[in-house]
């Protein structure tokens, strides 16, 4: 019996517990950028991190019952009204109650990075959600797009890089995958760092049938990161990607 071992309460450890205890140190090293990039990519893509978390949850989707679902609005986006109940942490059940859900789906963002020139390619475009922004509703952003049926996030990263910036990354490094605002929307964002040659890049891009008007521009990484520090860059995905590159800069440029 392994008494006192983290995550093992007594008796013979399960296979999941053994794997978690073995791989968790590697995941920690990966997050600290100690391991080579190709090993980090393998760990993030093929290892189920949820079973190895230091924050294991007793709750799963099996503890939620959706009793009714209706479309409250359908336009370019969809709003759903759900009636549901779920288990409490004390074992009792809560509900039924209603929640409105902005059904958005899986998005992909790409930080285009030229390691030879130590420069990134960023985009500027109008965003209706930023109409009240104190600076401008034209935001500095990453390449971005939505995953369509039959596509992988990597497919979208390559497609959108070509459509919005006129380039195709030679390599994609996964950065993170996060829920945007799970209290009210289903949107989840996968961020990649795409390695490119930025020579000759820049200009205007976007699809007319999607009413896109996108300015792509090349900027030294240090200048881009300064935009995070001074607040000029103020959207989550771009901030997270540039902070990731700041932390992992040495290994990505090696």
144 annotated to bind ligand: yes
B/e letters for 153-169, b = 16+ CB within 10 Å, e = fewer, are bbebbbbbbebbbebeb
- Catalytic residue, chosen from 132, 134, 149, 210, is 210
How far, in whole angstroms, is CA 57 from its chain's centroid? 21
Residue 105 φ/ψ region, left for φ over 0, alpha for ψ in the -120 to 50 degree band, beta for the rest:
left
Residue 212 is assigned to a ligand binding site: yes
210: annotated active-site residue: yes
Helix (H) / strand (E) containing 171: strand 171-179
Which residues are CB-neighbours of 78 under 8 A, at least 6 positions away?
71, 102, 103
- Token output for 142: 């990453």
User: Does 164 belong to an annotated binding site?
Assistant: yes
Q: Which residues of 202-226 are buried (b: 16+ CB within 10 A; e: fewer)?
A: eeebbeeeeeeebebebbebeebbe
Cβ burial 88-114 (10 Å sphere, 16+ → b, else e): eeeeeeeeeeeeebbebebbbbbbbbb
CA distance 157 to 111: 10
State the DSSP string of 86-137: EE-TTS-EEEEEEEEEEE--EEEEEEEEETTTTEEEEEEEE-GGGTT-SS-S
160 is in an annotated binding site: yes
Active-site positions?
210
Question: Could you tell me which residues are annotated as the binding site?
Answer: 144, 160, 164, 212
Question: Could you tell me which residues are annotated as the binding site for Mg(2+)?
Answer: 144, 160, 164, 212
């Amino acid at each position: 019996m392994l008494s006192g071992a983290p995550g093992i309460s007594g008796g013979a450890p399960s296979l999941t517990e053994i794997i978690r205890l073995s791989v968790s140190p590697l995941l920690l090293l990966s997050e600290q950028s100690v391991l080579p990039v190709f090993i980090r990519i393998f760990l993030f893509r093929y290892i189920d991190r949820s079973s190895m978390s230091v924050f294991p949850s007793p709750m799963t989707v099996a503890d939620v019952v959706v009793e009714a679902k209706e479309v409250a609005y359908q336009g370019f986006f969809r709003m759903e009204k759900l009636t549901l109940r779920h288990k409490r942490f004390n074992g009792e059940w809560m509900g039924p109650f209603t929640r409105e859900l902005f059904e958005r789906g899986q998005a992909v963002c790409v930080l285009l990075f030229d390691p030879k020139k130590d420069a990134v390619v960023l985009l500027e475009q109008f965003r209706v959600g930023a109409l009240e922004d104190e600076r401008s509703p034209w935001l500095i952003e990453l390449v971005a797009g939505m995953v369509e049926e039959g596509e992988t996030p990597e497919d979208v990263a390559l497609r959108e890089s070509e459509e919005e910036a006129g380039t195709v990354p030679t390599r994609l490094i996964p950065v993170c995958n996060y829920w945007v605002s799970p209290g009210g929307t289903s949107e989840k964002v996968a961020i990649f760092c795409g390695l490119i040659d930025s020579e000759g890049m820049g200009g205007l891009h976007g699809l007319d049938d999607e009413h896109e008007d996108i300015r792509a521009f090349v900027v030294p990484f240090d200048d881009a990161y300064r935009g995070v520090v001074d607040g000029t860059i103020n959207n989550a995905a771009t901030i997270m990607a540039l902070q990731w590159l700041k932390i992992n800069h040495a290994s990505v440029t090696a």
